[in-house]
Amino acid sequence: MLTEPAIAADRNQRIASITLDEHSVVRRNDNIEHERATAITDLLKDNFFAPTSGQRGPFALHLAIEENRLNLNIRSSADGSMETVGLPLVPFRRIVKDYFIVCESYYEAVKGGRLAQVEAIDMARRGLHNEGSSLLMERLADKVAIDLATARRLFTLICVLHLRG
């Protein structure tokens, strides 16, 4: 596992652009679309992403779900090399389902002005988000080194991709 100083040492090991496989995603509501846009904006501002294959960044990343697997298609902007990292999605299924249920409750509480509920629900939402982010870091550890902030934003995008037809 890389330490924070090691992460800071190589600023080219980052995602410079990211796209989602829009063909597999159904129409999203405004809340989900806002989460997607925020995750992408924040991710591109600050991230650490280093394939263990030694591929050099910065990277163009394309996320897609195919046959119950998350595919991270990674293209190096430095030399044009490409690789695909695949992750089974079964370990994420429960967390993503619970995350969407809690998020829907959160949005309803916000809309209804129930501030006491908003705080409690937000704590649960953040807990599930942290759990999903930690699982993502663990599952990617032998394929791609990422920091927690990057894992959190990528987990949000994985959730968005789960909204499939």
> pLDDT tens across 58-73, in order?
999 999 988 889 999 9
Measured CA to CA, the distance from residue 157 to residue 39 in angstroms comes to 7
For residue 130, the model assigns a pLDDT of 95
Measured CA to CA, the distance from residue 38 to residue 35 in angstroms comes to 5
pLDDT in tens, 3-17: 544 444 478 999 999
Question: Measured at the alpha carbon of residue 162, what is the angle toward residues 160 and 165, in degrees to the nearest 5?
Answer: 110
Q: Are strands 49-51 and 144-146 parallel, antiparallel or unpaired?
A: antiparallel
**Token representation of residue 25:** 């995603």
Residue 127's CB: how many other CB atoms inside 10 A? 13
For residue 53, the model assigns a pLDDT of 94
Measured CA to CA, the distance from residue 152 to residue 158 in angstroms comes to 10
Instruction: List the domain boundaries for the chain.
Output: 4-161
Residue 134 reports pLDDT greater than 80: yes
Residue 85's CB: how many other CB atoms inside 10 A? 17
Task: Tell me the average pLDDT of the chain.
Answer: 87
pLDDT in tens, 25-56: 555 577 778 888 889 999 999 999 999 999 99
For residue 163, the model assigns a pLDDT of 64
| DSSP-based three-state secondary structure for 165 | coil
